[in-house]
Structure 1
Amino acid sequence: MSALFSLQGKTALVTGASRGLGQAIAMAVAEAGAKVLCASSAAGGCDATVQKIQQAGHQAQALSADLSDESAVRELAAAAQDQGAVDILVNCGGTIFRAPADQFPMDEWRKVIAVNLDSAFLLCQLLGRDMIARKSGKIINIASMLSYSGGITVPAYTASKHAIAGVTKALANEWACHNIQVNAIAPGYFRTDNTAALQADEARNAAILDRIPAARWGEPEDLTGAAVFLASAASQYVNGHVLAVDGGWLAR
């Protein structure tokens, strides 16, 4: 059974791997046997992640790209493929901006959509072409609880995460016949930089915890099992699925 979850001999590109959920996923797929290309928005941003992976005896390399810049995203895809075939793509890089909808700056709207949606689709497209040619590949997009609901003061983030869920299903419809599994993970409320404002808001923090049956915020390590599952042969017949890892939030 353990062979089903092995990523030995595979190469994975993980964006947003400098910290938080992306770092945890990068370390988990490395532990499962994959060589991991860890991407961050700035040069040197993934050095700590790469060091942790290598100290554990696994393979990792740092890459960087500004995900709001289409040219940089194209260069990232090319740099990843220069290392050989990319078997697993994890689109975890993202950003958020908070402001009331009636005051939301359009430049921030465009940045959030570019980072969270456009870059993910472009990486899927660029790396997906080679996966189609090889008739093999795993793509994991990071969705959100805001793929299901509207949130408060985060209209661009919500729009991007609804779209990520839709793009995941659309690509699965086209690429499942090529033995490519395209799925998404929708994290619940996790302790990350993106949720720092919510954690610091006493009333919102209490309301969030009150709804989570597990009665706690998620930790990055809580996401790793789902990521390895969707990256491995264990999920060979799972396509177009958005897997909620939320402590029961959606069930409440």
Structure 2
Amino acid sequence: MPDALLEVDSINVWRGASQVLHDVSLSVGEGEIVALLGGNGAGKTSTLATISGLLHPKSGDIRFSTGQESISLPSLRPDRIVRLGIAHSPEGRQIFGGLSVVENLRMGAFLRHDKEIDADIERFYELFPILGERAELKAGQLSGGEQMMLGLARALMSRPRLLMLDEPSLGLAPQVIDQIFDRIEEIRAQGTTVFLVEQNAAMALEVADRAYVIENGRIAISGEARQLAEDPSVRKAYLGIEMSEDAPVETTS
């Protein structure tokens, strides 16, 4: 595995009186695509929210490598975590519907003060050509797939080293999902590490290097994506595929 960019170490997290994460540990290596799989309510979104500083663990640690040092995140404000190089594209896209496409992109760069914001906007118009065509259109008028592309591009406007995506395929048609996952692979190829939370296990395991499965707030299985794609329990629970008992299987847990 490459050097760790993000390390989550035995975090325990509550929402109100309910514990939502139990001793969750995982890592994301520099340059990887790592997937976190699980059903509704398993703890996927809570994991991302804790890394982003929106939730705070009662115990455990989360560390992010800047290249010069490893920094503990739980005590930091969300804006400081963004400045360190972590961007979060949330579930449901949460774009600003009353603002134009280009205004949404500029919002993604709100912590930046350099002179390359316009150049980055043009770069993302090349990555997502439909956004360039819709630049002055209100974001609320975009299709679901176009809004997802805008959410991705807006997150990338902060120039993150780590991009966290929460359910990018949610509610999208199959052909649009293919386009989104093609862009995710391209984003990684351009140098951004990706931590992908996704219910569409088949697509996630296709693009990911490694994956974790979370159930009831606990990491249940982990390993290389290709190995998890052949794990009988993963195939049955998340891919809808039964395997014969005598089929050779390689797993990591």
TM range (shorter): 0.3 to 0.5
Q: What TM-score do the two structures reach when normalised by structure 2? A: 0.35
Greater strand share, structure number: 2
Greater helix share, structure number: 1
Q: What TM-score do the two structures reach when normalised by structure 1? A: 0.35
Instruction: Answer 1 or 2: higher relative contact order, Cα 8 Å, separation at least 6.
Output: 2
